[in-house]
Amino acid sequence: MIRGDEIGLRARHETDIPVLHAMLYNDVATRSRQDPRPWLPIPPGSARSPYAAEPSDEAASFSVVELESQELVGAAGLWGIDTHNRAAHLGISVLPDFRGRGFGSDIVRVLCEYGFAVRGLQRLQVETLADNAPMIAAAKRAGFTIEGRLRRSAWVYGAFLDEVILGLLAHEWTPSGPEAAGHVR
């Protein structure tokens, strides 16, 4: 597990998949805002659930847990990992009961630690809808810079919306916690 201040990123457990699928995937309106692919009716227990994905060279999927309670908070990961250019995209999804509690910034920071310190990447990128103020704020608190806006680039539940691109380079990243002082957790 990679630990932040309040959350940890751990491997996805089989018992996480039905919860994530029911609470995140089956919320069609919210899922449509998180994924550029069209929502499809994938039944519970299907190997096609996006939460059943195994880590690979191109993607690292984590379950997010609250450290104090060990409760499942959501899902997070890096995707589109490009080992040649040492870059990846970052994404998070927080379960409804945990939204608004400030976990987003901690999740983004821990994903940066994984991407930069563990994987040796040199660039992380976030693409989010322009009206997703919590994600933009979480990314900016972790050091990301807004690099651009793609006008009307995302088809979301019946309308085109703008997307914002944020980026963070390894030399801009500020490690936090024991690793910054040379200690391993």
What are the extents of the domains in the chain?
2-177
pTM of the model: 0.92
Report d(CA 182, CA 185) in Å as an integer: 10
Give per-residue pLDDT as tens, 6-37.
999 999 999 999 999 999 999 999 999 999 88
Q: What is the structure's pLDDT at 184? A: 42
Provide CB contacts within 8 A for 56, sequence distance 6+.
none
- d(Cα 94, Cα 90) in Å, to the nearest integer? 14
From residue 51, alpha-carbon distances to 23, 68, 70, 154 in Å are: 11, 24, 19, 22
Confidence of residue 177 (pLDDT cuts 50, 70, 90): low
Could you tell me the two tokens for 84? 């040649």
Provide the pLDDT for residue 40: 94
pLDDT digits (tens, 9 = 90+) for 125-135: 999 999 999 99
From the list 61, 62, 106, 58, the residue with the least C-alpha distance to 81 is 58
Task: Report helix, strand and coil shares of the chain as percent, to nearest 5.
Answer: 30, 35, 35
Tokens of 14: 């089989």
Residue 183 banded pLDDT, cuts 50, 70, 90: very low
The answer on pLDDT for 120 being more than 80 is yes
Do residues 128 and 93 make contact, with C-beta atoms less than 8 angstroms apart? no
- The model's confidence at residue 53, banded by pLDDT at 50, 70 and 90, is confident
Please tell me the distance from the alpha carbon of residue 140 to that of residue 105, in angstroms, as a whole number: 9
Angstrom distance (rounded) from CA 55 to CA 166: 24
Residue 140, H or E segment: helix 133-141
C-alpha to C-alpha distance for 89 and 6, rounded to whole angstroms = 23
Looking at residue 181, its pLDDT comes to 42
CATH class of 2-177: alpha beta
Strand extents, DSSP E, 28-86: 59-66, 72-82
Cα–Cα dist 14/10, whole Å: 12
